[in-house]
Amino acid sequence: MDKLWPSAAAVLEGIVTDGMLLAIGGFGLCGIPEALILALRDSGVRDLTVASNNAGVDGWGLGLLLESRQIRKMISSYVGENAEFERQFLQGELEVEFVPQGTLAERMRAGGAGIPGFYTRTGVGTIVAEGKEHKEFDGTTYILERGLRADLALVKAWKADLHGNLVFRRTARNFNPLAATCGKVTVAEAEIIVAPGELDPDEIHTPGIFVQRIVHNPSPEKRIERKTTRMI
């Protein structure tokens, strides 16, 4: 039941391969699994499809995997902070599937719950709806979206116990619990590791049944995505 691995590189050994579909937690630079992304870059795997709210920024987060040309396709809802993403997309070097933010969250949740698809009004009448099944309920048109089931999920927790139970901190929770459930294999990095029984069951956000491996990252590099100052 001890799911702790000695390093980020070791925790990915044997479970990362070319062509994988990954679900990665985080929102901007908040709650991203920094150590796991670095280890994924260093593993050298390529041709990846990554489902994540956004693609990091230039020089950090998923932006590192874009710079190393390891990502073939992004499934995202917002990509506005990454110049390299823009360049690759406009040059036809990167495939992009834009997904409304709530729909992306629900696709992950549905995949983790074993739900293959769901209907939503979001995107009806836009390019998001092109090629998708339309169905009318009570006089309103909805489109069919597929649940997302990833080969591997990488998430960032604040606390974890050795059984893989996870606690996220404030806004760093964001997409992490959803990504954690939709992975066939889920790996979590955590700032604090405690013994089983030390977490209050009521504070656990993701039960350990969803998590196969964990790694300790006690001193993550928390960068600021955009600093705004104002003269008073």
| pLDDT tens digits, 72-83 | 999 999 887 789
In a domain, 94, yes or no: yes
In a domain, 127, yes or no: no
Q: 87 lies in which domain range?
A: 4-116+149-216
Q: Domain total for the chain? A: 1
CATH of the domain at 49: 3.40.1080.10
pTM of this prediction?
Answer: 0.94
In a domain, 140, yes or no: no
In a domain, 48, yes or no: yes
| pLDDT tens digits, 127-141 | 999 999 999 999 999
| pLDDT tens digits, 190-229 | 999 999 999 999 999 999 999 999 999 998 877 777 777 7
CA distances from 167 to 44, 62, 198 (A): 30, 23, 12
In a domain, 34, yes or no: yes
Q: Can you tell me the mean pLDDT for 42-49?
A: 98
